[in-house]
Amino acid sequence: MITPDIAIRDVLIGYRSRPRVASRFGYRSGGGSIHHYLTTLHARLYGPAAAPGPLPSDLDELRLWALTAGEHAQEAVLAHLATQLPRVAQLLQHARTEPSWPGPDHAWMRDADGALRHLADQIHHLSPAFALPPAPTARTAPPTAVLGPDPAPQDVTRALADFFSPDVAPDDVLLNFRPHPRTGERFTAREAPATAFGSLLHARLHGPDTAASAQQAPSEGQNRPPRATAAQQTAALVRLSGQLHSAGDILTWAQHWSHWRQLPRGVHAQLGRTATTVRELANGTGQIPAPTHHALAAQPTVVPPVVLSPAAPRR
Q: How far apart are CA 155 and CA 165, in angstroms?
A: 15
Q: How far apart are CA 86 and CA 226, in angstroms?
A: 18
Backbone dihedral angles phi then psi of residue 165, each to the nearest 5 degrees: -170, 140
What confidence tens digit (pLDDT) does each residue in 230-288 have? Answer: 677 777 788 888 899 999 999 998 999 898 888 998 999 999 999 999 999 998 888 88
In the predicted structure, residue 309 carries a pLDDT above the cut 60: no
Cα–Cα nearest to 116, from 86, 95, 93: 86
Give residue 307's pLDDT. Answer: 46
Cα–Cα nearest to 68, from 105, 91, 38, 46: 38
CA 286 to chain centre: 15
Average pLDDT over residues 181-203: 88
What confidence tens digit (pLDDT) does each residue in 13-40 have? Answer: 999 999 999 999 999 998 888 877 887 8
Which has more pLDDT, 232 or 301? 232
Longest dimension (CA), the chain: 68
Q: How far apart are CA 306 and CA 315, in angstroms?
A: 19
Average pLDDT, the chain: 78
In the predicted structure, residue 298 carries a pLDDT above the cut 60: no
Cβ 75 vs Cβ 55: under 8 Å? no
pLDDT band at residue 186, thresholds of 50, 70 and 90?
Answer: confident
pLDDT band at residue 138, thresholds of 50, 70 and 90?
Answer: very low
